[in-house]
């Protein structure tokens, strides 16, 4: 078993920080369900503004609210308006990752989803692993993905 990314929310903006709470991150329940994050699932949070990296668990927030609220001690690591990356992970075999194709939601202003991305891990004809990144949009390079992943996506 190895640890793999299972879901990712990229560029979500923090909408609140509540220090006087018992802990966690509250995320719009609709967003969580779409990407596959489950209630009480542990996630890693990477603050793009400060570099802070923390781990906590998910609480479902009001569906449709686009909320991203850091609670308890996690509130010390982010301020309202900070851009964060939230990643779920799973312990599994690589063939499970090949089968599940982890989903990524990419956010713009107001925490609106501006793109949906899929990480597609696959085996090449010689059995070695490769990956492609599939996007509903066409601008994979704007996310910093290497051109080889776009070429693999085009070929896959």
Binding residues for substrate: 56, 72-74
Catalytic machinery residues: 24, 57
Task: Summarize the annotated binding site as residue ranges.
Answer: 56, 72-74
Q: What is the DSSP string of the chain?
A: -EEEEEEEEEEEEP-EEESSSSSEEEEEHHHHHHHTPPTT-EEEEEETTT--EEEEEEEEE-TTS--EEEEGGGGGG--TT-EEEEEEEEEE-HHHHHHH--EEEEE-GGG-EEEEEEEEEEE-TTS-EEEEEEESSS-GGGGT--HHHHHHHHH-
């Amino acid at each position: 078993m190895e640890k793999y990314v299972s879901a990712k929310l990229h560029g979500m903006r923090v909408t609140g920080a509540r220090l006087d709470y018992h802990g966690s991150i509250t995320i719009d329940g609709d967003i969580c369900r779409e990407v596959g994050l489950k209630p009480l699932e542990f996630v890693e949070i990477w603050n793009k503004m400060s570099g802070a990296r923390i781990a906590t668990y998910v609480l479902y927030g009001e569906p449709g609210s686009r909320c991203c609220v850091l609670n308890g001690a996690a509130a010390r690591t982010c301020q309202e308006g900070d851009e964060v990356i939230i990643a779920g992970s799973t312990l599994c075999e690589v063939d499970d990752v090949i089968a599940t194709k982890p989903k990524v939601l990419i956010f713009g202003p107001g925490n609106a989803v501006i793109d949906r991305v899929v990480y597609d891990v696959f085996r090449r004809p010689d059995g070695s692993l490769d990956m492609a990144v599939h996007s509903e949009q066409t601008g994979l390079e704007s996310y910093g993905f290497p051109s080889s992943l776009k070429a693999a996506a085009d070929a896959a």
